[in-house]
Structure 1
């Protein structure tokens, strides 16, 4: 008799433990600084106007991320905990969802656990999970959607409810920031391409074959097309009740034209603006905070882990090669997700861009590094995986104080971490 095929055990307990660790690391000094910092000064006034439905402001961004911040303020009050608690929750969701997506995509425990490890120690997700900005909500919803899509492809019997959740999450991601729109289109496009390849001329009616047996293209279009659009539109419900909306748009279409104008307007140069290649090379940082605050010199630096962020680039190249040469769908998916999420900023007509726009590409890069590290281990390599994991952890520990507003020992303390001119 032939041996039973390998059946790896679901790493759900490791996933929960790592997500809890991330939440604990984020919670340290979450309420410091006690005043608004960096882009919180734009979003909190808009949140307060939302709560009293007075004037719609910050119209250049969709409303759902601000509604998430408002929920935290409603529950915990208009204070530092209320401002930032929902970011912590969605950052934790992003870590957990990223690990679950990798488990369903690769069916390997090590890749799932390593994905969580690299997301935690990679820096940007931690920093964004501790500040009241919109990007973390977009990332949380997007990684939730990818988890559900990967699970639907792996377990066809659960596909219907998983794609329903994915559709809601895709719409919510777009309703937080428009960055998510190209990625939100990918699951539906992938379904169309795969079903057309499998069913040829019967692609519109066939429910057989990859990616999900038993589901027609028409049904997938509901979950991955109509549902996201409906959720996105529903997120604009506050505009029915605002006392005043800047510009007085006559409807949802006019409002979006106004939003697009605000997104593409030529802004004054900003000292922290940067370009996509500086994000990928980890060359240009942003100091969210560096000043006397709450009785001490404190700083918050947004930058990638100096080791894992750079190693992600050859890992992504390997993923693209393995996807093409060996037919590894998990590798190819990560390479495409990274290319699409970064490619948006290469062609986007937004004149001033910042490192935090790299959040989603960074997440995909960390997942690619997890797959590449696992592959090195499978090949019998031991030193390289140990250096990658140990080095990433050591650098995270070294930078942790400057990621979390720890008290510093003077005005020049930033030089301990500002190794490159672009980090100053």
Structure 2
């Protein structure tokens, strides 16, 4: 760790707050535009990433086939796992409305079906791709945090924190859809950050060549492949669940703000008009048109089928709303209309309220978890009565800091114009705020799955403040490092305490009760 800290300090150069009036204009512009460069320890960075990634795979894949309900799926796996098996049997499309529960796009179920194709219809089969995506998310978080903080040490810490998050852990070990959406949303976020750095590198080359301000709107930036990749990944996230639409809007606005500040940093005379004319329209193509194309492509097997669910809804007397659109396209519209109607009427009724339902105001601190599996009649713990349970719960040492993280992030975002906090807070709120639009709807804590990675990234940025700057004295840095190490140890210890109820281990009744810290957890 000391070697990582030393390398972190060595990688620091002139930062924006160190720019003086007599500084070289090119270097001053570089400091404002590019900021602190990435750490130079590329090999060490990838070794840390690989180590944390392997650790994540071990934790996520251990005993993956347990628990099951006498060999069948548990909780909401009962919806998606059989649908995925049906898709595998049919040729990657669904042909049975499943009691009106074919209410999500096909991609998430295709992902589950890939694991079932490899390992069969069992716990390993229907959870394999979820665990793989969960482990890869840890790898992405290491690289994203390293890019945000310019610190390999903090990147590795972010990966450890995500491994120790109960929500990410459980959802990576369930045959459900949410981990796939979280995976694509996080990958798109990485592309947004890469696009930001690439844009600023291109503008810096224009500054060095002397033509960055020849046009009052600034230079054209060429094809931005990372932005296009981000748009495609957001189309895939919508192919899992429609809530990916909110991330499309959030990331588009985020890139526009990044482009505006970049043009202002190089001295463009009309940065607002330059951003509008040269960045906004291509941004709409990347974050609206391309995701739509990718989303529709997710239905390619359905279009190619003859027996797909609602495939001939127009011909068989569908609704009148889309009767003007004929053929398969019209049937797809009518299917979407039916799905939208299902979600609009999925409301909480007092006489049929789900015992583990929760509203979004309790999600940030994981105040109302969800019980996925419970078996109270075992004796595997060595006593007459044992409990084996799996509960979706956010590690308190992480999730109980959600509101302080968000408050500090908003302050840094609006008072210090810190782009790193702006990126993380925007992504976090894109996964959170939209759920307040319809509070009558049935909601559950697992909807917060995409928020977990951004919570970890926000906490990691906060730990960077605790660690201190490279310009701080060695005593300050050592004190900061001790505080960070103690906090990471607390998170890991908290995760270890929760381990039995995150994995369905057989424990005594006393231990089960000791795991339930709050009345709302019962």
Same structural fold, with TM-score higher than 0.5 when normalized by the shorter chain = yes
TM-score normalized with structure 2 length: 0.73
Gaps of 5+ in 2: 1-11, 15-35, 203-222, 264-270, 319-329, 381-386, 470-475
1:160 matched to which residue of 2? 224
Label 1:398 to 1:349 Cα distance change in 2 as closer, same or farther (>3 A). closer
Q: Does 1:188 align with 2:188?
A: no
1:212 matched to which residue of 2? none
Counterpart contact for 1:50–1:238, Cα < 8 Å:
no
Q: 1:254 aligns with which of 314, 319, 334?
A: 334
TM-score normalized with structure 1 length: 0.89
Q: What is the CA–CA distance in structure 1 between the aligned matches of 2:81 and 2:306, rounded to whole Å?
A: 17
Q: What is the CA–CA distance in structure 1 between the aligned matches of 2:358 and 2:497, rounded to whole Å?
A: 25
Label 1:12 to 1:319 Cα distance change in 2 as closer, same or farther (>3 A). farther
1:332 matched to which residue of 2? 422
Q: Does 1:389 align with 2:488?
A: yes
Q: Deviations over 1:41-98 (max 9, x none)?
A: 1111211222233324432211110010011111222222111100011111222222
Counterpart contact for 1:125–1:359, Cα < 8 Å:
yes
Q: What is the CA–CA distance in structure 1 between the aligned matches of 2:13 and 2:363, rounded to whole Å?
A: 46
1:15 matched to which residue of 2? 49
Q: 1:200 aligns with which of 256, 262, 272?
A: 272
How much has 1:281 moved relative to structure 2?
Answer: 2.5
Aligned length: 412
2:519 matched to which residue of 1? 421
Q: Does 1:41 align with 2:121?
A: no
Match of 1:131, SS state, is coil
1:238 matched to which residue of 2? 301
Q: Does 1:170 align with 2:234?
A: yes
Label 1:203 to 1:28 Cα distance change in 2 as closer, same or farther (>3 A). closer
Counterpart contact for 1:286–1:355, Cα < 8 Å:
yes
Match of 1:245, SS state, is coil
Q: What is the CA–CA distance in structure 1 between the aligned matches of 2:84 and 2:13, rounded to whole Å?
A: 56
Q: What is the CA–CA distance in structure 2 between the aligned matches of 1:327 and 1:224, rounded to whole Å?
A: 24
2:210 matched to which residue of 1? none
1:179 matched to which residue of 2? 243
Q: What is the CA–CA distance in structure 2 between the aligned matches of 1:281 and 1:155, rounded to whole Å?
A: 36
Q: What is the CA–CA distance in structure 2 between the aligned matches of 1:294 and 1:259, rounded to whole Å?
A: 41
Q: Does 1:107 align with 2:144?
A: no
How much has 1:413 moved relative to structure 2?
Answer: 4.2
Label 1:420 to 1:165 Cα distance change in 2 as closer, same or farther (>3 A). same
1:222 matched to which residue of 2? 285
1:406 matched to which residue of 2? 505
Counterpart contact for 1:101–1:151, Cα < 8 Å:
no
2:120 matched to which residue of 1? 77
Greater Cα offset, 28-37 or 186-195: 186-195
How much has 1:205 moved relative to structure 2?
Answer: 4.2
Match of 1:300, SS state, is strand
2:179 matched to which residue of 1? 136
Q: Deviations over 1:153-204 (max 9, x none)?
A: 1134797332232122111111111222101222222333454674333445
Flag as ranges the 4+ runs of structure 1 deviating above 6 A: none
Match of 2:353, SS state, is coil
How much has 1:343 moved relative to structure 2?
Answer: 0.5
How much has 1:131 moved relative to structure 2?
Answer: 0.6
Gaps of 5+ in 1: 207-215
Q: Does 1:271 align with 2:355?
A: yes
How much has 1:391 moved relative to structure 2?
Answer: 0.9
Q: What is the CA–CA distance in structure 2 between the aligned matches of 1:48 and 1:294, rounded to whole Å?
A: 30
Counterpart contact for 1:66–1:134, Cα < 8 Å:
yes
User: How large is the RMSD of aligned CA atoms in angstroms?
Assistant: 2.5
Q: What is the CA–CA distance in structure 2 between the aligned matches of 1:312 and 1:377, rounded to whole Å?
A: 19
Larger radius of gyration: 2
2:168 matched to which residue of 1? 125
Counterpart contact for 2:310–2:335, Cα < 8 Å:
no
Q: What is the CA–CA distance in structure 2 between the aligned matches of 1:76 and 1:172, rounded to whole Å?
A: 24
Greater Cα offset, 311-320 or 22-31: 311-320
